Structure 1
Amino acid sequence: MSFFSSRSLHHRGALKQIHAQIFRSGLSLDNLYLTKILETISHLDSPNSHYTRLLFDQIQKPNTFTWNTMIRVYSKTRDFELSIALYKEMLLKGAKPNWITFSFVSKAAADLGTLEVLLGLHCQVLILGFCSDVFVLNSLILGYSGCGPVDYARKVFDELPERDLISWTVVLNGYVRSGRAKEAVELFFLMREEQVMFDEVVVVAVFTACAQLRDLHLSRRLESLVRECKVGFNSYMSNALIDMYSKCGSIIDARKHFDEMVDKDVVSWNSMVSAYGRAGNADEARKLFDQIPVKNEISWSALLNGYVQNGAFKEALLLFSEMKAKGIIANDTAITGAVTACAHMGSLDLGRQIHSSLDKEKIKSDVVLSTSLVDMYVKCGCLDTAQQVFNEISKKNLVCYNVTMLGLAIHGKASECLKIFCNMAKGGLAPDSTTFVAILSACAHAGWLEEGQKWFRLMTTAHGIAPRAEHVSCMVHLMGGLGFLDEAHGFIKTSSVKPDVVIWGALLSACKVHGNLKLGKLATQRILELDPSHGGAYILFSGMLAAGNKWDEVMEVRKKMKEIGVENRRGWSCIDLQGNVHEFHVGKSFHPEIKEILPVLGSLNIQTALSG
């Protein structure tokens, strides 16, 4: 074994030289030497799987250890399909797998998301007598949790003869990753009943589950329980605690724990910036962001998305520009946030620039990013580009279907909207409430009364979705837009949904269009009963009265508005010119070039009047 005495053994070049020496020495048929090289290669950080396989194929009658070593190499190089293929080859050649084999193969199956392989592996575990081996069964639990169906993992967990901390942790994290937070918390309390001591990984998982539930009372109960168990809080746990309280709506608790941290890391700062953004306090988020000692790309994305969440789209785009100027590479979250801001600001040029800078394959595979691009192009009126991006998404989810359908609906593309719905149904995706808002909006914009009534019925009878206010509002828009105002009113009265401001607002808008002052007055009264300071209702009704030359009543309405402090919200608009967004507000002259703009507007008005 003198070949392996050198410290250079762990260098790929040295290993190949040793292999050549073995070959020249006539020892290439000695499995011991070749297996030793194979084993050493498997411990390299980035082994060459092709070379390793050539070496493996030279070994006569490899044993279980040798097969496992080769499978390990494929696991390290993330060649998961080859790992599974080699496992099947191992079985065909009569080699017997052991607990190490199962651990590697179950992980490969989980990373590939191949449930069928895991189910087959599970059968072999039982047949080969590993049904009492906790390590093997934990590997299966980990595999099932990684594949998605955590119920399979739980079944194995429940049948374990003996559960260790790994068993509990894997299932609990499986529930958290699957969004089944309630079951994760229940499992944690079961863990406490069985007096299993937990570690920081379990604590972070259960805090994350509580954050998903948005249950502040439960948050405080869990924190108290963890502290009673004398578990020392490290930064990892404290960061999860901050995130939990912020998502449960208590920015005070989140800030308290942040301020109490002795060693704040960048995750702590980022969590608190996100917390303020989530709480609607973008100014405090910016203030804290400026205090971060060393920022990373997540710091920037946290603040940017805080701006987006609070409707501060201009500030979000300014921050995105600041990132670019400072050479900060935006992560996926920041890019998605910037695209969303472009959508709301109508900043098409910047949106296109961001789109063109992205990798095409990434756009196809990242459904969140691609959906934001679809939304941006729809809101900017570029329907063809929006549909092109949508068509190229490799794995479409319900959200991207809904966004695309809603976009087509508001642009009056009812046929295209319904076509996408049919394609979605063929793909096996079940619609939700938002899907039918899109369909009914499409029918309303197209004026398809019978079609709209049909889909409203099918929503309940065929898909089991109970009507909501937005569905009723769409139907009122549809009937009211066609002039069937009494029918729209009757629909409201007979609906199982209690009418809200949006539903009565839809009727009021239709009454204004068709000049039905009597029904418009009733709709206004109903709105003001629900929201006495609803400025929109006063303004719409005042406009109807003015159109009917009822000026005394107009003055009464305006007097009432003044008494209760209702102001007419000033209109505003913005345009994107060569990548710069220009805002204009009614009655205000903030634009720096307003003196040059006003004469041009006056000239355009004259030309419009002359052209009739």
Structure 2
Amino acid sequence: MREREGAPSMAVTASSLVQRLIQHAVRPRNPTKARCGRPPDASPHSAILQHLAAGDIRAAIDVLSRSPSRFPPYVYSGLLQLCASRRALVAVRRIESHIISSCDPSTPSTFLLNRTIETYGRCGGIADALELFDEMPRRNGGTWNAVISACSGAGCAADAVFLFARMHCSGIRPNAVTFASVLGSCANLLALMLAKQVHGLILKFGFCVNVILGTSLVDVYGKCWIMDEAQKMFDEISNPNPVSWNVIVRRYLDLNMREEALVMFSKMIRVGVRPMSFTVSSALIACSDVSRLKAGCQIHGVVVKCGYGRDSIIESSLVEMYVKCGFLEYAQCVFNYSVSRDVVSWTSMLSGYVSCGRIYEAEFLFYEMPERNVVSWNSLLSGYVQSNCWDKAFEFFNEMLSEAEEIDVVTLGLMLNACSGLLDIEKGKQIHGFAYRNFCHHMLLFNNALLDMYAKCGNLKSSKVLFILMGCKRDTVSWNSLLTGYARHGRSEEAFNIFSLMLRENTPNEFTFSVMLSASPNIFMLDQGKQMHGYMIRNSIKIDVVIRAALVDVYCKCGLLDYALRVFNECSVRDIVLWNSLILGCAYLGRGDYSIELFQEMQKDGIRADDITFMGILHACIGAGFVSLGRWYFERMVSEYGVMPRLEHYQCMIEQLCKHGFLVELEEFIEQMPFEPTIPMWTKIYEYCTRHRYERLGEVASSRISHSF
């Protein structure tokens, strides 16, 4: 053909030859037949190329199967490329069969068989790729690269590592592609030591750390939680590309190192690298998790500048970022102007309203959604549960059963929380039965919620049986639920026995210690409280404000005010709970004067008193005999502090006036009460009136007590 066209042989390239063959194949030899719509005569070679150009893989394979002759390599390569794009595994097998049968069995084309292995990998036929690899009479470095890349790309990391070891033992030198593939497999296996050995081979063979290898090393060290090494390898890349930046940002994000992820994203922008949409999304997620609104707004500016404003992934991330930072108006603005509002962005807005307690707006948005998934349903259901709308939660659950396509273990867990809130163990048992019938009962999340429900409802026997049946699946949450149940129902000694067993099997967290410390004063177990305090210090467990308040409460109730003050003074940031614990503790120990001083210091720190604070102040005044001061604080609870007195506050005032003999003032106080004193109050009044011989009020108290029977 080249002689007819008069072209020099060296000027004919593969691409020009393909184009000429296609043109020759489609040019009708008989114009009459072409006009009549009859197919022109064509050789198998030309027919295959014509079908390839049309994307008709089935017709091309049929022509290939009917022809026993061997085709040029580019024909097979074109067929394999089309099969890879269509993931046509069966067609690849027919191509392999033709390649082997149409050539000398002892010397098949290694190049074509390598391409076949690669195509098997892209089509998910790893077993076929390995079988072909084992049967090949001749292999070269490309063969090993092909099979290792196929296994690595298909997620068969162990096979890829094993083949790399065989390749190394065979004396075949790997190249950069091989190393990148095996490093990816090490990352998937979290095989840190093996990754370090591969890193050593890279240095041994003199490979400079290029972008591909450097990015692979960053990825494997990051996935193995060695971010110092990952950062070091990233810094050695001379010109990191957007993929390299995306990997380092993502690895920091995966390890909850949000600030570091934002720092790397900021560096990428400063050096002028255009970020990938996935990198932008990762940076926005980091802003969401640490409530960095200013940084999120700056990234929003980068989104607009880079033209990513219509990317659905970034739009959803922007909505979520503004929602989690508490700026629903900004999130609503992004949502309203979004052109690709999908179920994810709708659900993000819904979750935002739920998290802010704006249930009515969340309801309106939910019923406006054009499409809902199980996450959407669960978001509104969680809103009802968090708002203590238990009955509404059950109504919505019934609606979900009739309309939603599915429910999941999160749904059932939320319903168990609703049962716990209602202390309705019968409904909890119904949810338990529903989960058992729908095969959800074996999931850890559901079992933990079920354990918590039984414990809170007081059925400690069922909770303990369930806990035992969970066996090795139970985690820290399981232990905490069981401990909370026993501590809440006053069975502190048993709770400590369970805690001792927990130390042998699991590691307690901050919540565990807050539960156990709250149980300690119930039976004045000072030694246990001290031991837990020491355990936390030795194991570097974070002592937050909640635990610190529990420690103060334990030491005060056990009579160790010095220990309580030491724990209190070690905290630089004190909340109302911590202040209340010490104020109540001092009042409990008869140090009412010090409780008043603490109250004044608390006001200087800008902490606003609540009803618990005034309970401590009134008890302090009772113990110290500050009757006038107690009345002064009681009168200013509403006017100055906006705290409505409860029954307990009135009980404190009655006890204070009775105990110190202010019975005339007591009579005036009773007349001004917005409700009738309770029988326990009248009993105390009668007791002190008899003691101080105040007959008039004593007769009234006696009359009220007698009429109650």
> Which of residues 647, 656, 659 is equivalent to 1:539?
647
> Which of residues 394, 417, 428 is equivalent to 1:348?
428
Are the counterparts in 1 of residues 242 and 273 from structure 2 also a CA contact under 8 Å? yes
Are the counterparts in 1 of residues 373 and 404 from structure 2 also a CA contact under 8 Å? no
Segment drifting more, 458-467 vs 298-307: 458-467
What secondary structure sits across from 2:339 in the alignment? coil
Change (3 A) 1:465 1:50: closer
Are the counterparts in 2 of residues 542 and 554 from structure 1 also a CA contact under 8 Å? no
The correspondence of residues 528-567 of structure 1 with structure 2, limited to 5 A, is: 532-534=641-643, 538-543=646-651, 553=666, 556=669, 559=672
Count of residues in Structure 1 that have an aligned counterpart in Structure 2? 547
Per-residue deviation at 1:289?
A: 0.8
Q: Which residue of 2 aligns with 1:177?
A: 254
Are the counterparts in 1 of residues 432 and 441 from structure 2 also a CA contact under 8 Å? no
> Which of residues 261, 266, 276 is equivalent to 2:338?
261
1:410 aligns with 2:518: no
The correspondence of residues 317-328 of structure 1 with structure 2, limited to 5 A, is: 317-328=394-405
In the alignment, the residues of structure 1 paired with residue 352 and residue 473 of structure 2 have an alpha-carbon distance, to the nearest angstrom, of 32
In the alignment, the residues of structure 1 paired with residue 439 and residue 625 of structure 2 have an alpha-carbon distance, to the nearest angstrom, of 55
Give the letter for the 2:484 counterpart.
L
Change (3 A) 1:254 1:376: same
> Which of residues 281, 291, 299 is equivalent to 2:368?
291
What's the % identity of the aligned pairs?
23
> Which of residues 292, 304, 316 is equivalent to 2:381?
304
> Which of residues 42, 51, 54 is equivalent to 2:121?
42
What secondary structure sits across from 1:90 in the alignment? helix
Are the counterparts in 2 of residues 106 and 139 from structure 1 also a CA contact under 8 Å? yes
The correspondence of residues 176-215 of structure 1 with structure 2, limited to 5 A, is: 176-215=253-292
Change (3 A) 1:239 1:462: closer
Q: Which residue of 2 aligns with 1:166?
A: 243
Give the letter for the 1:180 counterpart.
M
Change (3 A) 1:255 1:28: same
The correspondence of residues 506-517 of structure 1 with structure 2, limited to 5 A, is: none
Give the letter for the 1:101 counterpart.
T
Q: Which residue of 1 aligns with 2:464?
A: 384
Per-residue deviation at 1:117?
A: 2.8
Q: Which residue of 2 aligns with 1:585?
A: none
Give the letter for the 1:57 counterpart.
D
Per-residue deviation at 1:164?
A: 1.2
Per-residue deviation at 1:331?
A: 4.1
Segment drifting more, 132-141 vs 322-331: 322-331
- CA RMSD of superposed structures (Å): 4.2
Are the counterparts in 2 of residues 370 and 393 from structure 1 also a CA contact under 8 Å? no
> Which of residues 558, 574, 579 is equivalent to 1:500?
579
1:107 aligns with 2:211: no
Are the counterparts in 2 of residues 449 and 479 from structure 1 also a CA contact under 8 Å? no
Segment drifting more, 519-528 vs 337-346: 519-528
Q: Which residue of 2 aligns with 1:151?
A: 228
In the alignment, the residues of structure 2 paired with residue 236 and residue 76 of structure 1 have an alpha-carbon distance, to the nearest angstrom, of 24
Q: Which residue of 1 aligns with 2:622?
A: 518
What secondary structure sits across from 2:163 in the alignment? helix
In the alignment, the residues of structure 1 paired with residue 79 and residue 233 of structure 2 have an alpha-carbon distance, to the nearest angstrom, of 46
Segment drifting more, 77-86 vs 3-12: 3-12
Give the letter for the 1:119 counterpart.
K
Per-residue deviation at 1:187?
A: 1.5
Per-residue deviation at 1:212?
A: 1.2
Are the counterparts in 1 of residues 455 and 485 from structure 2 also a CA contact under 8 Å? yes
> Which of residues 309, 314, 319 is equivalent to 1:242?
319
Are the counterparts in 1 of residues 117 and 146 from structure 2 also a CA contact under 8 Å? yes
Segment drifting more, 275-284 vs 28-37: 28-37
Greater relative contact order (CA < 8 Å, ≥ 6 in sequence)? 1
What secondary structure sits across from 1:496 in the alignment? helix
> Which of residues 160, 165, 187 is equivalent to 1:83?
160
Are the counterparts in 2 of residues 110 and 143 from structure 1 also a CA contact under 8 Å? yes
Per-residue deviation at 1:288?
A: 0.4
Deviations 1:200-255 (A, max 9, x none): 32322222111111133333344345445665443322221111111111112111
Structure 1: gaps (5+ residues): 563-567, 569-612
Give the letter for the 1:384 counterpart.
K
Q: Which residue of 2 aligns with 1:281?
A: 358
In the alignment, the residues of structure 1 paired with residue 350 and residue 514 of structure 2 have an alpha-carbon distance, to the nearest angstrom, of 34
Give the letter for the 1:538 counterpart.
R
In the alignment, the residues of structure 1 paired with residue 209 and residue 547 of structure 2 have an alpha-carbon distance, to the nearest angstrom, of 55
Are the counterparts in 1 of residues 215 and 244 from structure 2 also a CA contact under 8 Å? yes
Are the counterparts in 2 of residues 145 and 174 from structure 1 also a CA contact under 8 Å? yes
Are the counterparts in 2 of residues 307 and 313 from structure 1 also a CA contact under 8 Å? yes
In the alignment, the residues of structure 2 paired with residue 330 and residue 104 of structure 1 have an alpha-carbon distance, to the nearest angstrom, of 39
In the alignment, the residues of structure 2 paired with residue 407 and residue 90 of structure 1 have an alpha-carbon distance, to the nearest angstrom, of 58
In the alignment, the residues of structure 1 paired with residue 167 and residue 259 of structure 2 have an alpha-carbon distance, to the nearest angstrom, of 41
Change (3 A) 1:96 1:448: same
Structure 2: gaps (5+ residues): 1-69, 591-614, 679-709
Change (3 A) 1:175 1:401: farther
In the alignment, the residues of structure 2 paired with residue 260 and residue 360 of structure 1 have an alpha-carbon distance, to the nearest angstrom, of 40
Are the counterparts in 2 of residues 316 and 338 from structure 1 also a CA contact under 8 Å? yes
1:476 aligns with 2:580: no
Change (3 A) 1:334 1:75: farther
Q: Which residue of 1 aligns with 2:596?
A: none
Segment drifting more, 146-155 vs 541-550: 541-550
Larger-Rg structure: 2
Change (3 A) 1:462 1:53: closer
Per-residue deviation at 1:455?
A: 2.5
In the alignment, the residues of structure 1 paired with residue 446 and residue 580 of structure 2 have an alpha-carbon distance, to the nearest angstrom, of 34
In the alignment, the residues of structure 1 paired with residue 250 and residue 304 of structure 2 have an alpha-carbon distance, to the nearest angstrom, of 21
Per-residue deviation at 1:474?
A: 5.9
Per-residue deviation at 1:433?
A: 3.3
In the alignment, the residues of structure 1 paired with residue 186 and residue 496 of structure 2 have an alpha-carbon distance, to the nearest angstrom, of 38
Per-residue deviation at 1:405?
A: 3.7
Change (3 A) 1:369 1:115: farther
Change (3 A) 1:34 1:254: closer
Per-residue deviation at 1:488?
A: 6.9
The correspondence of residues 455-474 of structure 1 with structure 2, limited to 5 A, is: 455-460=532-537, 463=540, 465-466=542-543, 468-473=545-550
Per-residue deviation at 1:171?
A: 0.8
Deviations 1:486-518 (A, max 9, x none): x37776566525643355568889999xx9993
Give the letter for the 2:272 counterpart.
Q
Give the letter for the 1:518 counterpart.
I
Are the counterparts in 2 of residues 355 and 373 from structure 1 also a CA contact under 8 Å? no
Deviations 1:32-76 (A, max 9, x none): 3654543332231x32x3343233211235323222332344345
In the alignment, the residues of structure 2 paired with residue 554 and residue 112 of structure 1 have an alpha-carbon distance, to the nearest angstrom, of 79
The correspondence of residues 12-23 of structure 1 with structure 2, limited to 5 A, is: 12-16=89-93
In the alignment, the residues of structure 1 paired with residue 671 and residue 182 of structure 2 have an alpha-carbon distance, to the nearest angstrom, of 74
Q: Which residue of 2 aligns with 1:587?
A: none
In the alignment, the residues of structure 2 paired with residue 151 and residue 302 of structure 1 have an alpha-carbon distance, to the nearest angstrom, of 38
